[in-house]
Each structure stands twice: as C-alpha cells, then as structure tokens.
C-alpha cells in the first residue's frame, strides 16, 4: 500500500506547528478503509465508550453544529462515500458525526486558562487517554510531549485565538510502532510488552509508520474550534520501497532527541529499525 502522507522533508527533526492551509481541499479524507474503520468505531463505542467519548456541559449545540458541518462536507466533496452503518438511538451529535467519517472529532472551546478539550469522540488515539484530557487546557494536554510547551505552547494558544472563520489548516504527526491497530490509548501502550518475535528479518513487516493527519477550523459564528484526527498506517517495508523516504526517515530518527524517542516508544526497537534503514540504503 502506498503511503498516503509522509511528513518528513529530510531536514533535522524539530518540533514545529507545521500548519498548511487547505484552501480548496476537503478537511475529510475518505479512502478504501472507510467501511472497516466505521465498523471499528461502532465496536469501540459499544465496548469502550468511556474511553472514546467524553463531553463537558453546554456543548450540545456545538456538537450539533459539527454534525451538520460534517454532513455538508460529505455531500459537497465525498458524494460517493458508502452508506455507513446506522447509529439509531445515538444521542450525541458528535458521536453521530464521528460515525460517518474516518476522522476522530474534537471540540476545542475558549476558556479563561486557554482553549480546553470540551468534547471529543476519539476512537483511534495514539498513546493518550481521553478521560485524562477532557476539560483540560491545551498546555496540560500537551504536557507529556517533551519540549512542546516550552517551544510551542504560546504560539499554539495565539493560533487558536486568532484562527479566522472560514480558514482550514492541516498538520501531521508521525511515529513508529509495533502494531497497526487503530485503537492505541495510553493505557494499552503502557501495558504492552516488548514483542520479542520482532527480529532483523521481519522488522520491515512488524513495525508500522503511523501518521496523524490533523485539521483545524473555527466553527461559524463561534470561538469554538473543530479539530479532526485521521490515522494512516504503513509497514516499514512499504515506506522503504521509496529509498528517498527511507533516507528521510533515517535522518529524522538520527536527529531526534532522546526524550522524544522515548515519548514515541522508539527505544524498544530502535537498534533494529536503524539497522533496517541503514541496510535498505546500503
């Protein structure tokens, strides 16, 4: 499978906001995994609802706004999208919206301490727990990311306050993990043992390059912001089919600080990954 997004440009690794205007492109990304991903969201909401949906008081109108925004975007840009499984009886507008797109949906709301996570349906987290983030301001949410608040905390706050109505932006995060399952909350990752079956011979198929495509936009006539997250997985072997991507990935890892490597769980397989990339490029 070809990598849909590869957010490394060959420069040294550094924390940046990395925002790009969407202009005429859709903030939703629909692909051949649509039915499978929506089915998985239904399962997670049935089996782990407290881990994938949370809301604060007074957000129902904004959730309804998001539902209509998502529905309109599908009609305008993705009219060929398959009919998803119905969510009859679902009371939350945000969950209803999340069950018709592959993206996870987060409502950010202005508060005295900065923007807070006011409501969210996040079925496919990457190493974090929604129940710990709901109602918290962004700098608290970002606390586990090494150096992020010191380097970008204030610029992120300013961006959220100044985001113009009608402007849509996207950015990307990435990491290397030993599973391609979409539901990877922090508690699941923390309890996960090192996979001793991963060796130099099979690491290309056992390690996955996981990309988060994130978009942000202000809701009309509001200070509320919709934040979307979409997950894409490719095996390390698939990434390395393009040698320029393998080279950029190796450089990104070589120039990443030890704290960030630890945050991304890289030390578990770092030696094997680096060796694989070096052998690929030899």
pLDDT in tens, 212-224: 999 999 999 999 9
Q: Is residue 12 part of a domain?
A: no
Question: Is the pTM for the entire model greater than 0.85?
Answer: yes
Helix-helix angle 243-254:270-281, to 10 degrees: 140
Rounded to an integer, the average pLDDT of 244-260 is: 93
Contacts of 23 (CB under 8 A, 6+ apart): none
User: Is the residue at 92 inside a domain?
Assistant: yes
Question: Is residue 1 domain-resident?
Answer: no
Domain-located, residue 15: no
Q: Could you read off the pLDDT of 155-210 as tens digits, one per residue? A: 777 888 888 888 999 999 999 999 999 999 988 877 788 999 999 999 999 999 99
Quick check: is 260 in a domain? yes
The one-character DSSP state at 194 is P
Domain count of the fold of the chain: 1
Instruction: State the residue range of the domain holding 238.
Output: 20-281
Q: For residue 162, give every residue at least 6 positions away whose Cβ sits within 8 Å of its Cβ, in sequence order, or none.
A: none
For residue 4, being part of any structural domain is answered with no
Calculate mean pLDDT across residues 137-153: 65
Mean pLDDT across the chain:
90
Tell me the pLDDT tens digit for each residue of 65-115.
999 999 999 999 998 887 666 666 678 999 999 999 999 999 999 998 889
């Amino acid at each position: 499978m070809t990598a849909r997004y590869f957010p490394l440009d060959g420069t040294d690794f550094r924390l940046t906001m990395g925002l790009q205007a969407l202009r005429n492109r859709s903030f939703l990304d629909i692909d051949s995994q649509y039915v499978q991903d929506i089915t998985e969201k239904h399962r997670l909401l049935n089996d782990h609802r407290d881990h994938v949906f949370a809301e604060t008081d007074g957000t129902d109108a904004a959730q309804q706004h998001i539902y209509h925004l998502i529905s309109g975007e599908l009609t305008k840009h993705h009219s060929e999208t398959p009919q998803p499984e119905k969510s009859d009886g679902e009371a939350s507008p945000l969950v209803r919206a999340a069950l018709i797109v592959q993206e996870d949906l987060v409502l950010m709301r202005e508060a005295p301490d900065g923007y807070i996570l006011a409501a969210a349906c996040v079925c496919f987290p990457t190493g974090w727990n929604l129940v710990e983030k709901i109602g918290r301001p962004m700098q608290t949410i970002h606390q586990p990311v090494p150096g992020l608040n010191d380097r970008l905390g204030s610029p992120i706050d300013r961006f959220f306050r100044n985001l113009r109505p009608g402007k849509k932006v996207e950015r990307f995060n990435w990491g290397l993990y030993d599973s391609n399952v979409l539901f990877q909350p922090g508690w699941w990752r923390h309890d996960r043992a090192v996979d001793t079956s991963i060796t130099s011979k099979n690491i290309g198929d056992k390690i996955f390059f996981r990309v988060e495509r994130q978009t942000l936009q202000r809701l009309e006539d509001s200070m509320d912001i919709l934040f979307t997250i979409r997950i894409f997985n490719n095996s390390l072997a698939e990434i390395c089919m393009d040698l320029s991507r393998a080279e950029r990935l190796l450089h990104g890892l070589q120039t990443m600080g030890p704290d960030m490597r630890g945050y991304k769980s890289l030390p578990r397989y770092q030696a094997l990954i680096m060796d694989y990339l070096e052998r690929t490029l030899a």
